[in-house]
A and B are shown apart, each in its own frame.
Chain A
Amino acid sequence: RKEVEQDPGPFNVPEGATVAFNCTYSNSASQSFFWYRQDCRKEPKLLMSVYSSGNEDGRFTAQLNRASQYISLLIRDSKLSDSATYLCVVNERNQGGKLIFGQGTELSVKP
């Protein structure tokens, strides 16, 4: 079983749609969680951290369920500029801070 798993997609959605990405992780001792965005195989960049209570940043909402070892990202009112690959990232601090990436979920937003 992979340490961090995501649905690879691709997700093809029209502008204005709401889309949700899911991610599961296997190490119950994982302590920090992130969503990164990657454009056209450029370097990944942080989209948002994921906190236990859930957090929102504009159109983006992240949720964490530690009991189920599950992370989600919701994008509301999708824009063309949201087209990218979204990477779920888990920090295994009990292993010296290993940052483990999921394989990424590709999103394509169409006019």
Chain B
Amino acid sequence: NAGVTQTPKFQVLKTGQSMTLQCAQDMNHNSMYWYRQDPGMGLRLIYYSASEGTTDKGEVPNGYNVSRLNKREFSLRLESAAPSQTSVYFCASSGQEGVTEAFFGQGTRLTVV
């Protein structure tokens, strides 16, 4: 019963380094999402993908890129990490363009120093 799997769970980067956060779901969902959560704030949408082959910007896309590799996988890339990108990142998936319940990965705790 994997659901949504995110890797890695923790990461420390130096300013300017790049990395890719991986996300995979095994529920045959069409929609996938990337959020970030900062202390005292809710989840802010970075990018989302309504279906395989499509991606759209959310509220805070600057500094990030995404790839919907196939129906199962949706990756988030930081090309040149900045301290402002220190956050907890959550990947989620849902069926029917978000009409049904969204399931979340366990999160990636990223620190940029």
Contact surface of A with B, Cβ cutoff 8 Å: 3, 6, 8, 31-32, 34, 41-46, 49, 87, 89, 91, 93, 95-104
Contacts and interface: CB of A to CB of B under 8 A. Distances in A.
B37 A41 contact: yes
Contacts of B59: 3, 100
Interface stretch (B20-28, B42-50, B62-70, B76-84): B42-50
B99 A93 contact: yes
Nearest to A97: B97
B94 A101 contact: no
A101 B104 CA distance: 13
A51 B58 CA distance: 25
Nearest to A88: B42
Contacts of A6: 42
Q: How many B residues touch the partner, as a band?
A: 20 to 34
B21 to A, nearest CB: 14
B88 interface: yes
A65 B56 CA distance: 29
Contact of A99 (B40, B88, B102, B105): B102
A32 B98 contact: yes
A43 B90 CA distance: 7
A32 B105 contact: no
